Structure 1
Amino acid sequence: MEKKVLDKREEVINLLKKQKIREVKDLDAYKLSICHPHSAGIDLGSRELYLALSPEIAAEMGVEIVHRFQTHTSGLTSCRDLLLACGVNTVSMESTSVYWTTIYEILQDSGIEVCLVNPKKFRMVPGRKTDILDCQWLQTLHLYGLLRGSFHPTSEIASLRSYMRERENLIQERSRFVQRMQKALTQMNLLLHNVIDDITGKTGLLIITSILKGERDPKKLAAHRDPHCKKSEEEIAESLTGYYKEDQLYLLQSNYDSYLFFEKQLNAIDNQITKTLQKFPIKKEQKEVRPDNGKKGKSGRGKNSIRTTKNLEDILFHITGADLSALPGLRANAILQIISEVGIDMSKFPTANHFASYLGFVPHNKITGGNIISSRTDRIKSSAAQAFKKVIPSISQTDTALGSFYRRLMPRLGKGQAIVATCRKLAILFYNTLAFGGQYVEYGEAQYKQKQEEWEKKKLAKLAKKYNLALSPNIE
C-alpha cells in the first residue's frame, strides 16, 4: 500500500514539474493587454441579434455601443455594413444552435475574422443573464484575447461534412424500417432472421419481395437461397412456414417501400459526395499511382459503404497527398468521415498530441492537494472520434503492432480504456501521415513484442540497480 502511495506521489510531482510557474520579475508580462482593439461581440438567437462595439470605437463614430438587428438576411447584412463602417476586423460570437452559420459566412466573406466560441466555455457570465450583457461581455473578453475560437473547417470541407452527416442520418433512418420489417415478419411467425444474418441481403430481399407478390409456399420461398448461405433450403423452408395476417402484410409492404426510398436517397447522396471530392484541389498528380499497402486485394466494401464506381482511396490519395488507407483499420469510409470533421490542413493543430486531445483521447489530469483526483478523458461528441473507435474491433483481430498493443492493454485496463488508448495511437499516426506526407510502414506484431521485451528488460535492470541487486539469467 505504501509503495502505491509513493508511486502516485512521484507521478504527481513529475506532472507538477511540467507546469509553468510565474516568477516575480515576470509579473508585468502577465498583465492583461489589449489584443484586438478593433473588435466586437455578437449574441444571437432565432429572432434577433445583439451587437456590442468597443466603447472607444462607439465614441469615435458617435454611435451606440449595443445595436439590435433582426435575423432576416437584410438584418444580417445591415450588421455587416455597420461593422465595416466602424472598422471592426474581428468579431466574437457564440455558436448557438445553427443560427450562427449564415452570419458567420457573411462576415467571413467580408474579410472580418470571426472567433466562434463554444457556449460551454462562456457560461460563467457575471451578473444577470441578458442578451445585452452577453454581447458586451463577449466583446470585453475578446478585446483582451481571453477567448479561444472553435475549430471550423474550410467551405469545401464544410460541404463534405454536411453530406457525410446527412448520410449517417439516412443510414440510421433506414435501419429503423429494417427493424419494422423484421417485426412484421416475426408477428407472422416468419422467422427469417433465425436462418439469415441480414434480411436486407440478397436472399432476404428476394424472399420478402416474393412474399409481397403473393407467394406463400415455403419451399418456393426457400429456393431463393444463395449458395453462400450457411443454412440449407430445408432449414430455411421450415422457418418460412408462417401464419399470414393481412395487417402485417400491409405493414411489411409499407416499411419495405420506405426501405427502398432510403436506399435511393443513399445512392443519390453517395453520387453527390463523389462529385464533391472531384472538385477538391489535389496535392498529387493524377498520373501518380498510390503505393501498394497490402490492402488492395482485400474487400473494403460493405452494406454501408459509399456506392460509387470510382476508387475513393485513390481519390483521397491525390487530395491529401498521403496514403491514409495504409494505416491499420482505415478504409475509404472511415477516412472520409474523419476528414469531413477535421479537414485536411493539420496546421490548426500544433502537434499530434493536440490533435489527439481535440478528439478526446488524452487523459485530463486534475491535481489538488498533491493528489490526482481525476484522470478521465473529456466527454467529446465528435464524429471523427467515433470513426476511430469503430475501427478498433477490426484492428484488435489483426497481427499488426496496434492490434498487439490493444490485446496487451485490454486484460489490464478493460475494453473501454484500451480502445481509447489505441485510438490515441491511431490518431497520432493519422496526424503524422497527413501532416508530413510519409508512407506508413507496418512492422507487425513480432517486432512490437520484441521492443516490449527490451523495454521490460531495461526496466528490470533499472529497478535492480536502484535496490543494489544483480540480475542473473535463467540457466534452465
Structure 2
Amino acid sequence: MERQVARCAGLDVHKDEIVACARISDPGGPGRVELHTFGTTTRELLALRDWLTGLGVTRVGMESTGVFWKAPFHILEDAVAECWLLNARHLRNVPGRKTDAADAAWIAELVEYGLVRPSFVPPQPIRELRDLTRYRRAQIDERTREAQRLDKVLQDAGIKLSSVASDVLGKSGRAILDALVAGTTDPVVLAELAKGQLRKKIPALQEALTAFFTGHHAIIIGEILSKLDYLDEAIDRLSTEIDRVIAPFADEVALLDTIPGVDRRMAECLIAEIGVDMTVFGSAERLASWAGRCPGQHESAGKSKGGRTRKGSKWLRIYLHDAARAASRTKNSYLNAQYHRIKARRGPAKARVAVEHSILVAAFHMLDRGEPYHDLGADYFTRRRDPNRHAQRLISQLDALGYDAVITRRTDQPTDTKAA
C-alpha cells in the first residue's frame, strides 16, 4: 500500500488518559514509531499538542469515544493540519492481544495509509449552536414528560380535566390547578374559573372536577407545576441564546423555512446538525447516506441481502421525523403527495423515511445554491405520467366496476381547480 502521509499519529482516548502513537517516515531513512501516554487535564492536553507539533505530525486520528474526544479535538484542531475523528466501526482490528498501545498504533497505521475516512465535525460556531439546540430539545421533551406526569396524578385523584379541556395547561386549566393546590376542592367554585370557550362546558367541568383530591395530590401537583414553570423559562432563555448564535446564518434559516413541514425552529435544528457548508459532503446522496436516510446496500455473490438504513445521527433523525410528519399533513404539496403515494404501497413508516430523504436532499441543494424551496406540486406524480396510458388505466378500472365509459380528449387545457 502507498503511504499517504509521512508524519501521523493515532490517539486511543479514554476518560483519564490518552495513549498516543506517532509514526514518522523520513525520506531516505527508516521509519520510527514513538509511544507516549498523557492525561486528559488541560495541562496534559497542551503537552500532547506540543509533543505532536514537535514531531512535525500533520495528521492525527482519534476514535470517537463517548464525549471524551471533544477536549483533545478542540485543542488539536488548530495546531495540526488534519485532525480526524474516526468512527469506531471502521477501526476494528484483528482478534488477538488488545492493549491501549496496540490500539493507538493500529489507528496511526490506518491513518498513515488512508484506510479510514474522517467523520463530519462542524466548525466551532455550528458546534455551539448544536449544543444549544440539542439541550433545548431535551428540555422540551422533559416538559412533555412532566405534563404527562401531571395528568397521571390528576387521574389518580379522579379529576377528569383532560377529558373536558383540550389543554390542561391553558389559562383555564392552570387557574383550576392553582386553585386545587391552594386547597379549593369545590367543583362549582373550580368550574367558575373557566375562561373563553370552556365556559360553555361548565356542567361537564363540574362533573369532571368532582373527585377525592387530597393534600397528597396537592403537594405533587404543586411541584410539577413549579417544574413546568422552570422548564418554560429555561426554554425561553435557550431560544433567546439560539437567536443570538444563529444570527450569522439568518439567510440560511430563511431558506430552509420555505420547505413544507420546516418552521424556523426546525430550520435552526437542521443547520445545527448539518451546518451550512455543503462542500464537506460533496453531494446530496452522500449527505443522505451519512444521515442514514437512504436504503443501505449489502450485496454478496450477486445477491442483495437487504437494504437496512444505517443509524446516522440520532438528533438529525428526530428533527427529520418531526419535519416529515408536518410535511405529510401539508395539503397541496409535493411532499404530501409523495407520502400518500408511498404509504399506499409500502406503509407509513417507509413513506415517512422517503419524505425525510426528500427534505434532506432539498436542504442540501438549497444551502448549496442559496435558492428557496421550489415545490413540484401535489399533481407532480400525475403530470409525469403518459396521459394516454393513465386514461386507459382509469377506463380499465371503470370497466372492472361494471361501467361502460367512452371518453374524448378536449382540445383546451384543463382549468386549475385548486387556484379557483
Please tell me the TM-score bracket, short chain as reference: 0.7 to 0.9
- Say which SS state the counterpart of residue 227 (structure 2) adopts: helix
Q: Which residue of 2 aligns with 1:241?
A: 210
Q: 1:321 to 1:236 in 2, by over 3 A?
A: closer
Q: Which residue of 2 aligns with 1:416?
A: 349
- Are 1:108 and 2:41 counterparts? no
Q: Which residue of 2 aligns with 1:385?
A: 317
Q: Which residue of 1 aligns with 2:193?
A: 224
Q: 1:369 to 1:125 in 2, by over 3 A?
A: closer
Q: Which residue of 2 aligns with 1:470?
A: none
Deviates more, 1:449-458 or 1:196-205: 449-458
Counterpart-to-counterpart distance in 2, 1:427 and 1:62: 45
Equivalent pair of 2:10/2:105 in contact (CA under 8 Å) = yes
Shift of 1:376: 2.0
Shift of 1:224: 2.9
Q: Which residue of 1 aligns with 2:287?
A: 355
Give the counterpart letter for 1:100 in structure 2: W
Equivalent pair of 1:195/1:231 in contact (CA under 8 Å) = no
- Say which SS state the counterpart of residue 355 (structure 1) adopts: helix
Aligned residues between the structures: 394
- Map Cα deviations across residues 318-343 of structure 1 (whole Å, 9 max, x no partner): xx286221111111111111111111
Shift of 1:173: 2.2
Counterpart-to-counterpart distance in 2, 1:116 and 1:455: 55
Q: 1:135 to 1:245 in 2, by over 3 A?
A: same
Shift of 1:381: 3.8
Equivalent pair of 2:60/2:80 in contact (CA under 8 Å) = no
Q: Which residue of 1 aligns with 2:141?
A: 172
- Say which SS state the counterpart of residue 441 (structure 1) adopts: coil
Equivalent pair of 1:125/1:137 in contact (CA under 8 Å) = no
- Say which SS state the counterpart of residue 288 (structure 2) adopts: helix
- Say which SS state the counterpart of residue 356 (structure 2) adopts: helix
Shift of 1:69: 0.8
Paired-residue identity, %: 27
**Residue 84 of structure 1, aligned match among 50, 53, 69:** 53
- Map Cα deviations across residues 263-301 of structure 1 (whole Å, 9 max, x no partner): 2211221221122123x2x5xxxxxxxxxxxxxxxxxxx
- Are 1:323 and 2:255 counterparts? yes
**Residue 207 of structure 1, aligned match among 176, 184, 188:** 176
- Are 1:365 and 2:310 counterparts? no
Counterpart-to-counterpart distance in 1, 2:235 and 2:388: 49
- Map Cα deviations across residues 303-356 of structure 1 (whole Å, 9 max, x no partner): xxxxxxxxxxxxx32xx2862211111111111111111111111111111111
Give the counterpart letter for 2:296 in structure 1: H
- Are 1:343 and 2:275 counterparts? yes
Runs of 5+ consecutive residues of structure 2 not aligned to the other structure: 394-404, 408-420
Q: 1:322 to 1:73 in 2, by over 3 A?
A: same
- Map Cα deviations across residues 37-93 of structure 1 (whole Å, 9 max, x no partner): 111111010111111011546x98999611011111111111110111111111001
Root-mean-square deviation over aligned CA pairs: 2.5
Counterpart-to-counterpart distance in 2, 1:232 and 1:360: 48
Runs of 5+ consecutive residues of structure 1 not aligned to the other structure: 1-31, 283-315, 461-473
- Say which SS state the counterpart of residue 66 (structure 1) adopts: strand
Equivalent pair of 1:322/1:433 in contact (CA under 8 Å) = no
Counterpart-to-counterpart distance in 2, 1:219 and 1:118: 63
Q: Which residue of 1 aligns with 2:225?
A: 256
Counterpart-to-counterpart distance in 1, 2:372 and 2:13: 46
